[in-house]
Amino acid sequence: MANLVAPHGGKGLTCCLLEGAELEAEKKKAEGLKKITISPREEGDLIMMGIGGFSPLTSFMTKADWKSVCDDFLISDGTFWPIPVTLSADKADADAINNGDEVALVTGAGEVMATMKVTEKYEVSEADKKYECEKVYMGEGTPTPKEFWEIAQDDHPGVQMVMGQKDVNLAGPVKVLSEGEYPEKYPGIYVSPAESRKMFEDRGWSEVAALQLRNPMHRSHEYLCKIAVEVCDGVYIHSLVGNLKPGDIPAEVRVKCIDALVKNYFVEANVLQGGYPLDMRYAGPREGLLHATFRQNYGCSKMIIGRDHAGVGDFYGMFEAQTIFDKIPTPSDPGKALLCTPLKIDWTFYCHKCDGMASLRTCPHAKEDRVMLSGTMLRKGLSEGTEIPDHFGREEVLAILREYYGSLTEKVEIKTHAAATGG
């Protein structure tokens, strides 16, 4: 019998998604509640609380939680958590709400996603937003606030997201009424933590490694998965199906690429594919920790962390998302600690002299012998119509991507990390 890692927080999977008669009654009640419009990021966070992906969270964070997460990687009850999960509202809407009131949370298109009992509301000033950005989004690539702010507001999508939040945060428990478009749009790919755990158990897996994916799968991703397959029972290729930044590859295209790779280059019994509904925050090291935290809920005990995980531009050091795991607090209660550990893998590439995939730990040759692999570089080459170097990607995958890029009427400038072509 499989013995999977326990869900994060020591409370099992905490799912806020209503079903059956309870769901219908809450939907009816929501019709008469004050409506608060939520952002796409907040929608994804809601769905994750609904399906247990953010266990043990069942509420948007209080000010004490927000501050403790920014400063200490802990929510106020001492449970590890790396990134604030907050909901913002216009001051006029917040002024019309009293603590104890219930509100309906709706998307920009008007779909009622959840109800929420407001237990606290707190102003978020410009200084507060900057504080969150410096604590959560500032990395080794911009080591001082001055360097960070010189470029962050123009070039960091996560920072732009935080600075664009409304003026008041609302905290309180939620009842989730919908999973949005995901079940219908990504059938068989979008699955809940309970469903992925059952799939792992049905296969007899205990030690499962997760691969985070937001770029199309190239040879380096393939190699990372195969390393993990050698040391774990299986690999969960877990692709983001929420919103990305301009120039990123849509989820449905990435899913086709993964299908082609798994069918042609893996033992299918050792690999599963899934999708989750969050937006990227591009928080680099902190997001690497978030990825490990919710992958624990999905049943994964290992998180593959390679080069520049969840990074953007030059904001983070190449392996900062690995070293941060060595610096986080370990709560005395094991249930409150992060149990999904990093599978740290060095920079990987194809080496002509090695005649195969290798890493900086295994290959003694010079950088001119290596084909440096990067999802961002792959997107840039395909977008600009330049020739893709040999051994960069599998031909089955490149054919899918060329078809996608050939269908675009507008091109988006793709920026690469300064070290992306280094050796």
Single out the residue of 15, 26, 79, 7 nearest to residue 49, CA to CA. 15
- Report the alpha-carbon distance of residue 423 to residue 412 in Å, rounded: 27
Q: Please determine, for residue 332, whether its predicted confidence score (pLDDT) is greater than 60.
A: yes
pLDDT band for position 79 (cuts 50, 70, 90): very high
Residues 49 and 193 in one domain: no
Is pLDDT at 94 greater than 80 in this prediction? yes
Please, what is the average pLDDT of the chain? 92
pLDDT more than 70, % of the chain: 94
Whether 158 is in a domain gets the answer no
What pLDDT digit, counting tens, does each position of 17-34 carry? Answer: 999 999 999 999 999 999
Helix (H, G, I), strand (E, B) or coil at 370: strand
Give the pLDDT band of residue 208 (cuts 50, 70, 90). very high
Residue 346: band (very low, low, confident or very high) from pLDDT cuts 50, 70, 90: very high
- Does 332 fall in a domain? yes
What average pLDDT does this structure show over 405-420?
A: 62
Give how far the C-alpha of residue 322 lies from the chain's centroid of Cα atoms, to the nearest Å.
16
Residue 56 has pLDDT above 80, yes or no: yes
How many structural domains comprise the chain?
Answer: 2
Q: What is the mean pLDDT of residues 253-274?
A: 93
Segment 243-256, tens digit of pLDDT: 766 777 888 888 89
The reply to whether 173 and 242 lie within a common domain is: no
**Shared-domain flag, residues 169 and 210:** no
Answer whether residue 375 shows pLDDT above 70: no
| Last residue of one domain, picked from the residues 135, 154, 178 | 178
Identify the active-site residue in 41, 169, 197, 214.
214
169 phi/psi in degrees, rounded to 5: -95, 140
d(CA 261, CA 369) in angstroms, rounded, equals 25
- Both 201 and 174 in a single domain? no
Decide if 214 is catalytic: yes
Does residue 221 fall inside a structural domain? yes
Catalytic pick among 169, 215, 270, 297: 215
Is residue 2 situated within a structural domain? no
pLDDT for residue 250: 83
Task: Looking at the structure, tell me whether residues 61 and 198 fall in a common domain.
Answer: no
Instruction: List beta partners, residue 35.
Output: 104
Q: Please indicate whether residue 144 or residue 411 has the higher confidence score (pLDDT).
A: 144
Mind listing the pLDDT tens digit for each residue in 215-237? 778 888 899 999 999 999 999 99
Instruction: Identify the CATH number of the domain in which residue 238 sits.
Output: 3.40.50.620
Q: Are 234 and 337 in a shared domain?
A: yes
Helices (H), 52-191: 63-72, 91-95, 126-136, 145-155, 157-163, 182-185
Q: Which residues are bridge partners to 240 per DSSP?
A: 276
CA 35 to chain centre: 28
Quickly list H helices, 299-374: 320-323
Q: Are β-strands 348-351 and 59-60 bridged in parallel, bridged antiparallel, or unpaired?
A: unpaired
Q: What single string gives the DSSP state of each residue in 181-239? A: THHHHSTTTB--HHHHHHHHHHTT-SSEEEEEESSPP-HHHHHHHHHHHHHSSEEEEEE
CA separation for the pair 301, 232 (Å, rounded): 9
- Say how far apart CA 137 and CA 128 lie, in whole Å: 14
Alpha-carbon dihedral of residues 319, 141, 138, 305, nearest 10 degrees? Answer: -10
Q: Is residue 278 part of a domain?
A: yes
415 confidence band (pLDDT: 50, 70, 90)? low
Domain shared by 324 and 402, yes or no: yes
Q: Nearest CA to 61 among 77, 38, 50? A: 77
User: Do residues 222 and 363 share a domain?
Assistant: yes
pLDDT for the residue numbered 245? 67
Quick one: 234 and 169 in the same domain?
Answer: no
Q: Give kind and range of the element (H or E) at residue 350.
A: strand 348-351
**Do the bridges between strand 208-213 and strand 234-240 make them parallel or antiparallel, or are there none, so unpaired?**
parallel
Give the CATH number of the domain where residue 36 resides: 3.10.400.10
pLDDT of residue 251: 85
Same domain flag for 344 and 406: yes
Would residue 301 count as lying in a domain? Answer: yes
The answer on 327 and 211 residing in a single domain is yes
Q: Is the pLDDT of residue 410 over 80?
A: no
Bridge partner list, 80: 74
Instruction: Answer whether residue 296 is part of any domain.
Output: yes
Mean pLDDT value across residues 278-283:
92
Q: Does one domain contain both 91 and 44?
A: yes
Range of the domain at 278: 188-423
* Structural domain contains residue 149: no
